[in-house]
Structure 1
Amino acid sequence: MEVRDKTMFISDAVDYKGAPANRSTTGGWLSAASILTVELCERLSTMAIGVNLVTYLQGTLHTPSATSSTIVTNWGGISFLLSLFGGILADSFLGRYWTITIFANVHMLGSCLLAISTVVPNLRPPRCDPSLLNNCIEANGLQMAVFYIALYTIAVGIGGIKCSVSGFGTDQFDQKDDNEKAQMAYFFNRFYFFISIGTLLAVTVFIYIQDKVARVWGYGSCTIMMLLATAIFLSGKRRYRYKECLGSPIVQILQVLVAAIRKRKLKIPSNMQQLYETHSDESRIARTRQYSFLDKAAIVENEDDLMIESGSSKPWRLCSVTKVEEVKMMIRILPIWATTIMYYVVHAQMITFAVLQASSMRRSIGSFEVPAGSFNAFFIGAILLALGIYDRVIIPLWKKKKGTLGLTNLQKITLGLAISISSMVVAAVVETKRLKVAKSRSTTVSILPVSAFLLVPQFVLAGAAEGFVYSGQLDFFLTESPKGMKAVSTSLFLTTIAFGFFLSTAIVSIIRKVTQGSHDWLPANINHGRLDLFYGFIALLSCINLGLYLCSAKWFLRKKMQILNS
């Protein structure tokens, strides 16, 4: 009977009543499907708003092109950065279920407010001819304030959802059960598939609604999708498996740093056995000499002896060697983290200036006009195609010739960064041609007689680059981080996207200040600027970054080999 109970119930999960979760009535694919619906609708809503936001800013709120770009990239950066704080909230206080529930409603509230702001006359400036953008009345303080409130309400919702959806989905499968563990592997494949489907729907159907029907219907549809997703998610409450809040790994990192600083004047004992350790032989990590300053967090003082004897703990004062080593492992991956940020600067151009380029060019296929934001469908398609070719062609060939399962995670990132450079070079060449046509035409012409499909190669190359960089990063951060810090490593990965958007904002601001005047690279109307030189500058920075990345990867592999040998 006792054996049967063990197989029926899951030891580390509970049901909605707080009782041990029954394997037959909780979790599994039915529960995971409800959670995946939230991710599908969140991705759809976020991308439908984000990818086409630059055209709304310039065409409706009449903000200059560079300002529009920085607003979009700042919003994207903050959205991903908030996932880090959302993760702390979910792991330490609310739990994943309530975090998703609360922030899905926050996301829905923000998109609803954005939809309302597009139809209330006082919340947008008067319409004007887009070819005369310099003479249009820019949105006033109140109008921009309402817009920012709506936009950053959505950002808060994104941060809360992104940090919890994948984790709560994997909670529905018992890793100690071989059958459910195999199902969890398929969950990750379907998770990325749902993200891609949501994005494709966003950049095609929903952007078409925004451009050809009305913005209020486009943004209103996003609100309805989030409402539907929330309802489906809440309907699964009785079926879900819930896990206890164990605290955030970020807190552990801070504890080690604070404890090491407190004991900075102490000397590390010559006998390493004197350092504090509580983990079993199976789970402990051996001490390494690198970053030895942090080892001071594990030094046992007289005051600590009394605490240990009493059975109490003060993690802000004394940390185990294993906890210190886990923090060291996270520090070692920081150079790779820093040198992958630059790719997302390239990514940022695909949803900002590249969309503005498309909006100024002919986009017709027969009688059908492709919305400017929908050109990102080529970007998403390239991601899926690149990963498909890699899985079905490159991996089998690599295995046959070299006996390994394809490229390593660091090699994938290298390939992706190299392709992203070619994307910016191609973008600069195409923009040179577009500007040549623009200068030969009247300044009042809003659509230039040049095909927007010339932009397809830069979208395809940037998308292929993302396929390799994104998958390589995810693999690297999950495999090279300690077991107890998988969640924080995922958040660290998401911050590369955030800081990439912030870096794009900084570069745009610097370029505007340096080139303002007769040689303005990024004026209000891109037809009067030098976007080709801007793209060339991004390509140059990406080349420098690739060199730094290769040095960082070589250093990481050398240090890893030294640790393994020791």
Structure 2
Amino acid sequence: MAITMSMATGNNFQEAETPLLYDVARGSVDFKGRPAARSKSGCWKSASFIIGVELAERFAYYGINSNLVSYLTGPLGQSTATAAVNVNTWSGTAWLTPLLCAFVADSFLGRYRMILVACLLYILGLGFLSLSAALHSVHSSDCRNARNSTACPPSQLEVIFFFFSLYLVALAQGGNKPCVQAFGADQFDEEDEEESLAKSSFFNWWNFFLSTAVMLSLLVLNYIQENLSWALGFGIPCVVMCVALIVFSLGTMTYRYSIDRDRRSPLVRIGQAFVKTARNWRILPHEGAEVEALTEDEKVYFSNDIEAAKTILRLVPIWATSLGYGIVYSQVIPPSYHSIHGIFLSLLAMVIAALIETKRLAVAVEYGVVDTPKAMVPMSVWWLAPQYLVFGVADVFTFIGFQEFFYDQVPTEFRSLGLALYLSIFGMGNFLSSFLITIISRATSGHGHDGWFSDNLNRAHLDYFYWLLAGLSAVAFAAYLYFAKIYVYYRKISV
């Protein structure tokens, strides 16, 4: 009888415990450090808070980025070429800082804390930008009253303060971008079939809301900045980010926080793997016993470190051959195999842009408005629709394809770094674009000639630049096809 009761008790215990085991999301804990229960944490209820942060962040970022050239050539009085270089340099920095911030997040702060820090930096940077624009407005108003003139260049201090604020926003974007998306994807358990499918749709919804934020930013903030006030146009995103920080904090108790059994920094692990491999390669045959002087656990970790390093190295050719798309993307004011379609479409969009610009220049000559740059060229705005339509479709393929590829093709603890590599494509694209613009501007504008980037767009030759980008994209596309074909896909390592 006692045995029966004991068995019954054991069965009751098993029945009580089994659902709890099935309910645990492996590799994740809740905000108190306990194993995260699927029924009480993660999935869409948590991801919705994180998507809200991304919606606000993209609204704020493109509220600055999309109209930055207008501010630099307007209130700050810079030339078109100088403004283009400054915008590309800033954008490149904003897209490359995720590499640094991903390292800090994966090694020290964690994704959740890094997102909090990034939101605070955004609020500070946007607040400073709004203050900078307000101070310039007061200065230019006093200047016009004193000189009775509209020519009121900003002071050196104003310019320094503006760019300090601008690069603070770039740093904030660097902290937010690789962590917020990885943190959102972390809310779905890959070992659960239903949640694994939900994670795939998460990336699609992510890009839908991202595009929605960009569209709202272009429609609302650009109008406010151009027609009402630059200070207000920079201040509204600051308020939006304050709301986003509150919304993100509200979801704290529902989030799943990833844990890593190996507490070493991911980049340190890769570095140690390379160092150990180099040492072993140099060891003489009779010294081989030293190589084996590792515990079984150390051997497992070393083997996994080597495989992790290999996965990162395998990404490099794909990353490098995607830079052509990054350069093309840097020319547009925003908005694996899926990415192949997007890269090809971006090449096609450059060809269309070159043809339309050639047509626009011909119309300017035909109607005699070449030397009146402020005159309206008699062409319908719908001529621009084809290239933007193709760019939009290219973004759908490329963004989603790159995001899933760089997220899935790295070990779990490297996912912030993987997404940072994806983002750095656009950063390097902006820097390469800035380099091309500088070189071409110097080469084509000497001896009194109008260069490709003349302030008078009717005498400029953006069509030549677009053809150049199309050619570079074609070369990069061919290389991308080759490396995509030979790429060896990463399989998750179980420890």
TM range (shorter): 0.7 to 0.9
Is the counterpart of residue 491 in structure 1 residue 473 in structure 2? no
2:389 match: 460
Q: Distance in 2 between matches of 1:159 and 1:417?
A: 25
Q: Distance in 1 between matches of 2:483 and 2:37?
A: 47
Instruction: Assess, with a 3 A threshold, how the Cα gap between structure 1 residues 62 and 439 changes in structure 2: closer, same or farther.
Output: farther
Is the counterpart of residue 538 in structure 1 residue 469 in structure 2? yes
Cα-to-partner distance string for 1:262-310 (whole Å, 9 max, x where unaligned): 445346x7xxxxxxxxxxxxxxxxxxxxxxxxxxxxx99544544x25x
Q: Distance in 2 between matches of 1:447 and 1:248?
A: 57
Is the counterpart of residue 257 in structure 1 residue 257 in structure 2? no
* Aligned 1:271-420 pairs, distance under 5 A: 301-306=288-293, 308-309=294-295, 313=298, 320-351=302-333, 380=335, 408-409=337-338, 411-413=340-342, 415-420=344-349
Q: CA RMSD in A?
A: 3.3
Q: Distance in 1 between matches of 2:413 and 2:37?
A: 26
Is the counterpart of residue 193 in structure 1 residue 208 in structure 2? yes
Higher relative contact order (CA 8 A, sep 6+): 2
Alignment counterpart, residue 89 of structure 2, candidates 74, 77, 80: 74
Contact 2:118 / 2:176 at 8 angstroms: preserved in 1? yes
How far did 1:70 drift?
Answer: 1.4
Q: Distance in 2 between matches of 1:300 and 1:321?
A: 20
Opposite residue 39 of structure 1, the aligned amino acid is E
Instruction: Assess, with a 3 A threshold, how the Cα gap between structure 1 residues 126 and 436 changes in structure 2: closer, same or farther.
Output: farther
Is the counterpart of residue 502 in structure 1 residue 431 in structure 2? yes
Q: Distance in 2 between matches of 1:450 and 1:412?
A: 31
Q: Distance in 1 between matches of 2:416 and 2:373?
A: 53
Q: Distance in 2 between matches of 1:112 and 1:549?
A: 41
Cα-to-partner distance string for 1:177-218 (whole Å, 9 max, x where unaligned): 334334333322221221111111111122222222222221
1:104 match: 119
How far did 1:27 drift?
Answer: 2.6
Secondary structure in 2 matching 1:13: strand
Opposite residue 544 of structure 1, the aligned amino acid is V
TM-score calculated relative to the size of structure 2? 0.83
Contact 1:63 / 1:524 at 8 angstroms: preserved in 2? no
Secondary structure in 2 matching 1:227: helix
Instruction: Assess, with a 3 A threshold, how the Cα gap between structure 1 residues 484 and 223 changes in structure 2: closer, same or farther.
Output: closer
1:160 match: 175
How far did 1:448 drift?
Answer: 4.4
How far did 1:26 drift?
Answer: 2.9
Contact 2:312 / 2:410 at 8 angstroms: preserved in 1? yes
Secondary structure in 1 matching 2:28: strand
How far did 1:57 drift?
Answer: 0.9
Q: Distance in 2 between matches of 1:191 and 1:522?
A: 36
Is the counterpart of residue 15 in structure 1 residue 4 in structure 2? no
The range that moved more, 79-88 or 153-162, is 79-88
Contact 1:521 / 1:534 at 8 angstroms: preserved in 2? yes
1:440 match: 369
Contact 2:91 / 2:430 at 8 angstroms: preserved in 1? yes
Alignment counterpart, residue 549 of structure 1, candidates 480, 484, 487: 480
Contact 1:425 / 1:535 at 8 angstroms: preserved in 2? yes
Alignment counterpart, residue 115 of structure 1, candidates 108, 130, 133: 130
Contact 2:57 / 2:241 at 8 angstroms: preserved in 1? yes
Report percent identity of matched pairs: 31
Q: Distance in 2 between matches of 1:482 and 1:435?
A: 55
Q: Distance in 1 between matches of 2:40 and 2:402?
A: 36
Is the counterpart of residue 170 in structure 1 residue 99 in structure 2? no
Opposite residue 339 of structure 1, the aligned amino acid is T
Gaps of 5+ in 1: 130-134, 270-298, 352-375, 381-406, 561-566
1:368 match: none
Gaps of 5+ in 2: 1-15, 145-149, 490-495
Instruction: Assess, with a 3 A threshold, how the Cα gap between structure 1 residues 444 and 195 changes in structure 2: closer, same or farther.
Output: closer
Contact 1:63 / 1:139 at 8 angstroms: preserved in 2? no
Alignment counterpart, residue 242 of structure 1, candidates 239, 257, 265: 257
Q: Distance in 2 between matches of 1:243 and 1:69?
A: 41
Alignment counterpart, residue 526 of structure 1, candidates 457, 468, 471: 457
Q: Distance in 1 between matches of 2:287 and 2:208?
A: 50
Q: Distance in 2 between matches of 1:232 and 1:40?
A: 11
TM-score calculated relative to the size of structure 1? 0.73
1:471 match: 400
Secondary structure in 2 matching 1:333: helix
How far did 1:338 drift?
Answer: 1.2
